[in-house]
Structures are given as C-alpha cells and as structure tokens.
Structure 1
C-alpha cells in the first residue's frame, strides 16, 4: 500500500473488487454537479473495462481509517507535440466528509508518481465549467487552464453516424 504524509490516509491501486466503490465515486460527481441522470455506467462496466489484460483506465482509491475518501480515475495519453506519454485524469472526487483534508492533492500527487514511473511527463484533465472550486484548486496546485484549447466530443447516435461514414467506402 502507498501512503502519503498523513498516517491515516492510504492511497492504493483499485482492483476489480472495487468496481462498486468506483461507481459510487462517479455518482458522487454526478450528484455534486446536479447531473446524476447523465451517468449510465455500471459496476460491471468498470470491472470489464478497467481490469484484466488490457485495462482502459487505472484508479487510485484514497481511504482514511479504512473508509473510502476519494478516487482518481485516469488513463494513458500521448502528446504528439512533446513526443512523450502522460495521462488524462477523467475523474477526481473526494467524499464530502473528507474534503479539506488534502485528499485530492494526495491523489493527484500519487497519480503523477504512477505516471512518471511509466515514463510519463504530464497530466491533463478537464473540469466542469461551473465548478469554480475545482478550478481554483487545480490552479493552486499547478495545473493551469489552457485557454487555447477547447474540448469537442461526440456521443450516442451522432457517434454512431460518424462511425458509419467509413462503411460507405470512404
């Protein structure tokens, strides 16, 4: 187990048996943002895609005195401009009961160590536009907003339509 400078805070790598805990953490984010209806993931989705021979992501779980305190879900990324690997943090959450105790910063530091151990040199993430508290926190610890970038995404039927474009021989 990996520990931080707090004797009661332990950060460990998640296993498939943590899938329900991971889902609960993701639901905390949805609740915090007022968008729980947008979460359709299941614990089985996390078990299937996050563990095994070729996991799509990794998760670090923080516990204080054995109680879930937060998590950081991330996956490998590659910067073509830097020519180096890194990671994209998809989700970072701290349970309300443990906010203000350094859990999020400890999770980010441990994530950075894990990424560095694999040759990575950067972390990236996006933050909900209305989550000003998170934005201030990220900037305070050194993650800077990149005003020259905008996130674009495609989901659902629009994704299926785009994926189908290549089927016509193009």
Structure 2
C-alpha cells in the first residue's frame, strides 16, 4: 500500500475516519472515466469500518465524502463492486441508493495468467 498509494504518483487515495482519536474506518478510492457517459467518476475499491464503530454511519459518511469530492472535481458517478456472498454489504449499498448494474459483468485475469497475457509479443 505504501508503494502504490503514497509515492510520487499515487494509484489511489484513502479517506480515513476517526472517532475520538481512534481509527474507525477507511475508504480507498481512485478516479475513473466512463466513455459511455463521457464523464469522470470515482471507483471505491475498499470500504472498511471497524466492528465496534458499525451502525454509527461511518461507512455512509465516508462514501458521501468521496462522492462529494468526486462531484467537486466534475465527476458524475460512483462505482464499486461487492463480494458475491457479502449480503450485509449489498443491503448497505442498496439502502444508500447504490444500485446494481444490469448491463455489465466484471471479468478479470490475475497472477500467472495475467503475466503470460501481458508478456505475449504483439504480432
């Protein structure tokens, strides 16, 4: 995290919440762009709230702050993904009005398969 988030060219930003001087949670995010909308937005990679601070709107406040910063920079949307089995998170986001995409499916390539793909010579 230090290498990619706090160097000369950070790949992400992190908003940290504290309550009474104690770490309460964080929101790791970065700017994105939609060619469909022709506008910038923000991708929330991680939202975490310590168990003892859950139910105190820490996660909601972090997300709203990130959305506010995105909007101030001309952004028009917030995007995130949730582990398929995390029903609590799904309900939390839906309660905030963050809906699920019916027209997209997330696909990925990682590890050795990614390295092989990236290292294949172009023809």
TM-score interval, smaller chain: over 0.9
- Aligned counterpart in structure 2 of residue 121 of structure 1, from 64, 67, 76: 76
1:134 aligned onto 2:86 = no
Equivalent position to 1:96, from 51, 54, 57: 51
**Deviation by residue 1:38-83 (Cα, 9 ceiling, x = unmatched):** xxxxxxxx11111233210000000000101000000110000000
In structure 2, how many angstroms separate the alpha carbons of the residues matched to 1:115 and 1:58?
12
Map 1:7-156 onto structure 2 (within 5 A). Answer: 46-156=1-111
Aligned-residue Cα RMSD (Å) equals 1.0
Gaps of 5+ in 1: 1-45
Partner SS state of residue 91, structure 2: helix
Q: What SS is found at the alignment partner of 1:87?
A: strand
Tell me how far 1:137 sits from its aligned partner.
0.8
Structure 2: where are the runs of 5+ without partners? Answer: none
| SS across alignment from 1:82 | coil
Q: Which residue of 2 aligns with 1:38?
A: none
TM-score for both structures, normalised by structure 1? 0.70
The runs of at least 4 aligned residues of structure 1 exceeding 4 Å deviation read: none
Deviations 1:110-158 (A, max 9, x none): 0001111221111100001111111011011110011221110111100
Q: Which structure's residues are more often helix, by fraction? A: 1
TM-score, scaled relative to structure 2:
0.96
Count of aligned pairs between the two proteins: 123
